[in-house]
Every structure is written in C-alpha cells, then in structure tokens.
Amino acid sequence: MDPLPKDGESAAAGEPSRGAAPSSGVVVQVREKKGPLRAAIPYMPFPVAVICLFLNTFVPGLGTFVSAFTVLCGARTDLPDRHMCCVFWLNIAAALIQILTAIVMVGWIMSIFWGMDMVILASKYS
C-alpha cells in the first residue's frame, strides 16, 4: 500500500515535473541532401566566388559558366565519385538553364542564388 503524502508534500513529488527539461537528450544531425546540379558547385577561393556572384547578378549564367572552368583547374565539389569532366558538364548545364530561363526571370533569380551559394561554400572552405 502506498503511503499517504505528509502535510506540505504533493502526491506528485516523486514524479519529475512536466516543465523541466529531460536530463538525457538525443543528438540529432541534420544534413542537406543536394541534387547533382547543386552538388556540382565548386569550392572556389573567396575572391573568385565573389566575382562569379557579380557576373551572375548582371549576366545570368556567366558566373556559373566561369565556375565550371574552376572544376577543370582542380576545385573540389560535393561529387567526389564523379569524374572531373562530368562535373564540368553539370556546371555548363546549370549555366545554360540559367541563361535560357532568364527571359522569364526564373533563370536570373536562380543565377543570383547560385552565386550566393558559391560565396557561402567559399567562406566555409577558407
């Protein structure tokens, strides 16, 4: 038989309070899954990435086109299992998509975001 609580004690004194954080936690790791075009963005030196962003801002796809050649110069990408020429052509394809869809503004916006991703990757790489 359970003992009755004494004066000043509550029945839930032995239970953990609902508002308290648990003492043991679970570590959760979140990873962004990138498609092949997005994973083909090269890790460039920061000044080169800024130039590519500038080019992509004013001429959609031009900075992406220039970044494709950095892959041939040895820039690393998130596609280590693919051959350098395949990654080069993926970047050329991304540049063509940006150029062809710039007419309806989609390519221009995509081009600017692509350039921003280049700068973000370059800042992580430095």
List the pLDDT tens digit at each of the 126 positions of the chain: 555 555 555 555 555 555 555 567 888 887 777 788 899 999 999 999 999 999 999 999 999 999 999 999 988 998 888 888 999 999 999 999 999 999 999 999 999 999 999 999 999 876
pLDDT at 23: 64
Confirm whether 112 is domain-assigned.
yes
Question: Judging by beta carbons within 10 Å of its beta carbon (0-12, 13-18, 19+), is residue 92 exposed, middle or buried?
Answer: middle
Confirm whether 88 is domain-assigned.
yes
What 8-state DSSP symbol labels residue 78? S
User: Positive or negative CA dihedral for 50, 44, 72, 36?
Assistant: negative
* Domain tally, the chain: 1
Confirm whether 93 is domain-assigned.
yes
Check if the beta carbon of residue 43 is closer than 8 Å to that of residue 125: yes
User: Domain of 76?
Assistant: 44-125
What 8-state DSSP symbol labels residue 10? -
Give me the residue label for tokens 């839930």: 12
For residue 82, how many C-alpha atoms fall within 13 Å in the half-sphere facing its CB?
20
The 10 Å Cβ neighbour count of residue 110 is: 19
Q: What is the distance, to the nearest Å, from the Cα of residue 36 to the centroid of all Cα atoms in its chain?
A: 13
pLDDT at 24: 74
Confirm whether 4 is domain-assigned.
no
Confirm whether 21 is domain-assigned.
no
Confirm whether 77 is domain-assigned.
yes
pLDDT at 5: 53
Confirm whether 18 is domain-assigned.
no
Q: Which two tokens stand for residue 103?
A: 């007419």
